[in-house]
Amino acid sequence: MSEKIKVSVLQCGSVIVAKNQLFNTGGSLWDAALFNNRRPDTRVEIPVFAFLIQHPKGTILVDTGWSKNVRKHPVLTLMQQRLCDAPSLPEGQAVEEQLLARGIRPADLDYVILTHLHIDHAGGLQSVREAKKIIVSQSEWWEANLPKNWLVYDRRCWRGVPVKPFYFKDSPYGPRKKSYDLFGDGTIELVHVPGHTAGLLNVLIQNNGKCLLLAADCGFRRESWEKGIRPTLVHDEKDMMDSLRWVASIAERPDCIDCITCHESNLPVREFEL
């Protein structure tokens, strides 16, 4: 496709987590989730990113960041997640505020794509509920709505929101060779990369001889796939490592301009054109 695709990185606040959540250092899950997050010397603040894709065939938001409610009521907003996550959302950084600053109303969005349903990615979903289509993988939707997973997912984020789950199909992409071609032309592939969660997806953008991978939480920083170090808290360890190897293979492609996680701390470039 000769027309260009523009991708903007939107920083929707940040989150303070235990350092050993980012890279598995052999500590216990309890250390990573709880105890180390109470010690200032073992914590780190990382950004929370969403992405705006301005495509010739539609305007797309990938993830939503935090809800504005975390500004005044962080404990009530995060509930159980507040045990391990401390959110920050400065004025002007909520996803709807950033869209409006660009002249985009939620109703102008053709798609909201949720890479997965953790609260730092779906927390702002209620504020963009007027988007034309809000989609997430069926495997993520199923897992997130299981009663046993109440500690991991907060279903208040999507309560009353018209989320439409989709099924991955056979494709050349991903560790499981499963993806969903959003427009049917190969420019936006939603690739199944399980590990962090059961239904996590990455957004592979390909156009004009270039590719850009929005790697979501398939690792928290590029060292994850460069060094093969998985995060501590994962849904499945083997799937996580398989997915990291796949991201590494995309990063090595000569046409790849970047691979970006949703929590990458060192990201000097915030606008891309393909």
| Domains observed in the chain | 6-271 (3.60.15.10)
For the whole model, what pTM was predicted? Answer: 0.94
Question: Amino acid letter at 52?
Answer: L
Structure tokens at 72: 């005044």
pLDDT of 26 reads 61
Instruction: Provide the H-helix boundaries in 69-204.
Output: 74-78, 95-101, 119-122, 138-144
Q: What gap in Å lies between CA 139 and CA 198, rounded to an integer?
A: 6
DSSP letter assigned to residue 124: T
Q: Kindly indicate the confidence band of residue 31, based on its pLDDT and cuts at 50, 70 and 90.
A: low
Q: What gap in Å lies between CA 219 and CA 229, rounded to an integer?
A: 8
- As a whole-number percent, the residues of the chain with pLDDT over 90 amount to 73
Q: What gap in Å lies between CA 168 and CA 250, rounded to an integer?
A: 19
For 92-141, the pLDDT digits (tens) are 999 999 999 999 999 999 999 999 999 999 999 999 999 999 999 999 99
pLDDT of 43 reads 79
Structure tokens at 171: 């494709």
